[in-house]
């Protein structure tokens, strides 16, 4: 990394170094959803705003939320505060977050036409404003992570209009009308490429692709709707920004992780809590950085349960570049003292 004009000292970003293939001991640490509801300062700020979207589209508020966990904990990464459904909102679906129920997109594409949607690309602009604000305030040793949903997972929300456990509406459409579904996937790829490019140009150091519902697909469908779109998106991003590492997080992929790692071109792979880290170290390509994979419920348990879980994960990767993280997002009822314990365990202070 280039030195500042006033100093000959090069700033070290441990997390970014690991994403580029360097092993660090202790491993760098951040947590998925680290900016969020388990923090009282987040809840206090949200109470003053018009719901989740009111915060996400307010660059000042979103930047504050992004920075909040870094004031409490010795995390090596900041993750942009936003949502994967910003992309379908820009594509033209109406987006709202219903209290106690979650996000809703309308009209659902299972019974509506993609061509009927009116693009609203201006929804991306506030996110870039957030990135610029965070970048200006972030300490130089902290890696700034941008993100988007992967095409398959975003499509599941666009087709059904909401989240679902089995994604049956989307899977049914992909089987029954693959040409129509391919058009949806390609539109998501197009807007996601623009969105992530904008995040990079505004100042993020690395990107993560969240494929939260990839585990619902049969192997051939996984290759078609997870691996292939991700590979196209990664290739396009690398052509534009070859220096930006990309983390792929195909939650629930299980035994399909090795093929995902080989075929997508990602620089690091996130492991969910159901993956045996010993298996992952043996089966994934040598030298590929991995991220994860503490069970968020082990973090809630704390104490010796947490200590043993951290030790098992760290011991599973004796030589591989590793970023310590959760296997999914932190739960809102996680005690802050347990996050403090996790930081101490990973950093070797406990």
Q: Is 162 a member of any domain?
A: yes
Sign of the alpha-carbon torsion through 330, 336, 339, 343: positive
Q: Is 2 a member of any domain?
A: no
Q: Is 11 a member of any domain?
A: no
Contact between 130 and 88 under an 8 Å Cβ cutoff? The reply is no
Q: Is 4 a member of any domain?
A: no
Flag whether the pTM goes above 0.85: yes
Angstrom distances, CA of residue 316 to CA of 105, 234, 278: 41, 28, 5
Q: Is 335 a member of any domain?
A: yes
Q: Say how many domains are in the chain.
A: 1
Domain range for 123 = 26-347
Retrieve residue 43's tokens.
């809840």
For 20-51, how does the pLDDT look when each residue is reduced to its tens digit (9 = 90+)?
A: 999 999 999 999 999 999 999 999 999 998 88
Sign of the alpha-carbon torsion through 276, 281, 284, 287: positive
Q: Of the candidates 32, 130, 42, which has an alpha carbon nearest to the alpha carbon of residue 75? A: 32
What confidence score (pLDDT) does residue 75 get? 98
Q: Is 250 a member of any domain?
A: yes
Contact between 89 and 123 under an 8 Å Cβ cutoff? The reply is yes
Q: How far apart are CA 92 and CA 70, in angstroms?
A: 34
CATH code assigned at 333? 3.20.20.210
Active site residues: 33, 37, 46, 83, 157
Q: How far apart are CA 142 and CA 198, in angstroms?
A: 20
- Average confidence (pLDDT) per 10 residues, the chain, 350 residues: 37 95 97 96 92 93 98 98 97 90 92 94 98 97 98 97 90 97 98 98 98 95 98 98 98 96 98 98 97 98 98 97 98 98 90
* H helical segments located in 111-244: 125-137, 151-160, 168-176, 178-202, 219-222, 228-240
Contact between 155 and 172 under an 8 Å Cβ cutoff? The reply is no
What confidence score (pLDDT) does residue 9 get? 38
142 phi and psi, to 5 degrees? -95, 130
Q: Is 7 a member of any domain?
A: no
What confidence score (pLDDT) does residue 350 get? 61
Q: Is 322 a member of any domain?
A: yes
For 196-210, how does the pLDDT look when each residue is reduced to its tens digit (9 = 90+)?
A: 999 999 999 999 999
Residue 266: DSSP 8-state? -
């Amino acid at each position: 990394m280039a030195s500042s004009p006033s100093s000959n000292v090069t700033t070290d970003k441990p997390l970014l170094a690991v994403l580029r293939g360097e092993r660090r001991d202790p491993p760098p640490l951040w947590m998925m959803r680290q900016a969020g509801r388990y923090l009282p300062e987040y809840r206090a700020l949200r109470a003053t705003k018009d719901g989740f979207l009111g915060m996400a589209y307010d660059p000042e508020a979103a930047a504050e939320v992004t920075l909040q966990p870094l004031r409490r904990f010795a995390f090596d990464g900041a993750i942009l505060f936003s949502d994967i459904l910003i992309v379908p909102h820009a594509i033209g679906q109406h987006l709202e977050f219903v209290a106690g129920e979650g996000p809703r997109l309308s009209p659902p594409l299972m019974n509506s036409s993609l061509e009927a949607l009116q693009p609203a690309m201006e929804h991306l602009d506030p996110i870039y404003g957030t990135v610029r604000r965070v970048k200006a305030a972030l300490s130089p040793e902290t890696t700034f992570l941008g993100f988007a949903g992967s095409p398959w997972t975003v499509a599941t929300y666009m087709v059904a209009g909401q989240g679902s456990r089995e994604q049956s509406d989307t899977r049914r459409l992909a089987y029954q009308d693959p040409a129509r579904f391919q058009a949806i996937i390609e539109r998501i790829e197009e807007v996601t490429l623009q969105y992530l490019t904008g995040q990079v140009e505004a100042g993020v150091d690395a990107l993560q692709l969240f494929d939260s519902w990839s585990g619902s697909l049969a192997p051939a469908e996984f290759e078609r709707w997870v691996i292939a779109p991700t590979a196209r998106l990664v290739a396009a991003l690398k052509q534009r920004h070859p220096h930006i590492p990309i983390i792929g997080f195909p939650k629930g992929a299980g035994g399909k992780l090795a093929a995902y790692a080989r075929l997508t071109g990602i620089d690091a792979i996130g492991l969910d809590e159901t993956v045996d880290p010993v298996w992952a170290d043996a089966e994934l390509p040598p030298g590929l950085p991995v991220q994860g994979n503490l069970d968020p419920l082990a973090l809630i348990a704390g104490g010796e349960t947490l200590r043993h879980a951290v030790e098992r994960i760290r011991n599973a990767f004796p030589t591989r570049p590793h970023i310590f993280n959760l296997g999914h997002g932190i739960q809102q009822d996680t005690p802050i003292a347990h996050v403090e314990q996790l930081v101490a365990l990973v950093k070797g202070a406990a």
